[in-house]
A and B are shown apart, each in its own frame.
Chain A
Amino acid sequence: MKIVNNDANILIDLVKLELIDAFSKLDFDLHTTDLVLDELNDEQRTPIVNLNNGKKLTVIETIETTDF
């Protein structure tokens, strides 16, 4: 199942409670967005970026400029 985290608050809690490791082991397809990532401070961002590098979490960015 695909889970998209759209609230920085949740990631902050996970980092603070040292649950990132457990979180990454859940059998879900984890996603968040660059907008959420931007709300984190360096300390909070590092573990999330690591998850992303380890392909355990995908950071969604909108890339195409839509022309209506």
Chain B
Amino acid sequence: MEKLVANRIKNARILKCLSQQNVADELGVSKQMVSKYENGEAIPTSSRFLKLSKLFGLKIDYFFSSFQVELGEINFRKKSSFSIKKQSSLKEQIKINLENYIWLEDTLSIDYSFKNAIENISINKIEDVEKAVLKLRNEWNIGIDPIHNIIQLLEDKEIKVIELYDVDDKFDGLATYVNGKYPVIVVNGNFPVERKRFTLLHELGHLLLNLPNCETKKEEQFCNKFAAEFLFPREIVVKEFGGKRNHITLAELIATQKKYGISIPAIVYRLVDSGILSKQRHSDFYKKTRFNPSLDREVNASRFETPEKSSRFEQLVYRALSQENISISKASSLLNKNIENVKESSLI
């Protein structure tokens, strides 16, 4: 028990990127005392637990929960600008979210084994990604139509999606397996919807694609291709824009953006990739937008109307609550809401 609480206090401090001295100042105790807390040599008084809870933004339950998850490998390579401190903080944030998530599924006896439908397609060149996407879309029974809500789709396919809001704006997303079997995608919740959709699918690529041993840059290219192909398959690109084109209007691009939830720069990239626009046109497009701020705003505006919000976790909490698997207090702790709010939404 002492060790458990000690670890929780330490991890919470890491989560908030604080030093033992910071915590000591906040509690009005010595740094040595905080160190004792973290080594399991002393345990805080209840009033200090309350202070810790406020300082860390975590409910009291957190400090006493013995349910913990094992995160798979997390690759921070593309976030090289992230300090170790920030990486550790991010890991703790993800862990807390997943602990709650998996605990809840356990409580509801939800168990499943995720199957990767495209693990047998080995990716060696960029064209292989197209095949993999088509296979996946087939396996998932979604044809090649626009996808209304990516998060919902992923959650239906038993991939956990966690949105983080209190994160560095340089953080885009990451993917990993928890406890060696549950696939998870984490995404920056503050992104505009088109960017969120692309990031989610890019990370899905990292989860599912059977990539060769290659350098990071190449891997990122494969995953970008995967995301682009998934959002806006080549077949559809041709259908929407016809054959080779010399000119494309902004109105066409906006209509496509609204229909497929993909950003205009990504559409233009797709057009070049599919051979509809020439490389020359592509660089013309960039020059044009770079020197015309109002055009640049138009091109980068967010327009897709479906908000991408993950709702499964919240749904499960309310389900567990109404089935009396968990108490209102526990629900409020899982949702990080106060009890009063939870009571109001569970009247029926």
Measured CB to CB, the residues of A under 8 A from B are 7-9, 12, 33-35, 38-39, 41, 44, 60-68
A7–B2 CB distance below 8 A: no
- Nearest-neighbour CB distance to chain A for B335, whole angstroms, equals 14
Give B316-348 interface residues, CB cut-off 8 Å to A. 327-329, 332, 338-340, 343
4 closest A-B pairs by CB: A62-B46, A9-B328, A61-B46, A62-B45
Q: Looking across the interface, which residue of chain A has its beta carbon closest to that of B50?
A: A38
Q: Which residue of B43, B329, B332 contacts A65 across the interface (Cβ within 8 Å)?
A: B43
B329–A7 CB distance below 8 A: yes
Can you pick out 6 interface pairs between chain A and chain B where the beta carbons lie within 8 Å of each other? A12-B339, A39-B339, A41-B338, A60-B46, A61-B45, A65-B42
Q: A9-B327, A9-B328, A61-B45 are in contact. Are A35 and B340 (CB under 8 A)?
A: no
Q: Which residue of A9, A38, A68 contacts B40 across the interface (Cβ within 8 Å)?
A: A68
Q: Interface centre among A60, A62, A67, by most B CB within 10 Å? A: A62
A37 to B245, CA, bound (A): 69
A64 to B47, CA, bound (A): 11
A61–B40 CB distance below 8 A: no
CB-CB under 8 A from A9, the residues of chain B are 327-329, 339, 343
A68–B47 CB distance below 8 A: no
- Nearest-neighbour CB distance to chain B for A1, whole angstroms, equals 23
Q: Looking across the interface, which residue of chain B has its beta carbon closest to that of A59?
A: B46
- Nearest-neighbour CB distance to chain A for B117, whole angstroms, equals 44
- Nearest-neighbour CB distance to chain B for A64, whole angstroms, equals 7
CB-CB under 8 A from B47, the residues of chain A are 34, 61
Q: A12-B343, A34-B50 are in contact. Are A66 and B327 (CB under 8 A)?
A: no
A12 to B60, CA, bound (A): 18
Task: Tell me, yes or no, whether B145 is within 8 Å of chain A by CB.
Answer: no
Q: Which residue of B42, B50, B327, B343 contacts A68 across the interface (Cβ within 8 Å)?
A: B42
CB-CB under 8 A from B343, the residues of chain A are 9, 12
- Nearest-neighbour CB distance to chain A for B23, whole angstroms, equals 15
Q: Looking across the interface, which residue of chain B has its beta carbon closest to that of A9?
A: B328
Task: Tell me, yes or no, whether B260 is within 8 Å of chain A by CB.
Answer: no
Q: A8-B339, A35-B60 are in contact. Are A65 and B33 (CB under 8 A)?
A: yes
A68 to B46, CA, bound (A): 17
A9 to B46, CA, bound (A): 19
A68–B41 CB distance below 8 A: yes
A41–B60 CB distance below 8 A: no
- Nearest-neighbour CB distance to chain A for B278, whole angstroms, equals 64
CB-CB under 8 A from A65, the residues of chain B are 33, 42-45
Q: A35-B49, A61-B47 are in contact. Are A66 and B329 (CB under 8 A)?
A: no
CB-CB under 8 A from A41, the residues of chain B are 338, 340
- Nearest-neighbour CB distance to chain B for A27, whole angstroms, equals 27
Q: Interface centre among B327, B328, B339, by most A CB within 10 Å? A: B339
A35 to B63, CA, bound (A): 13
A8 to B50, CA, bound (A): 15
B49–A67 CB distance below 8 A: no
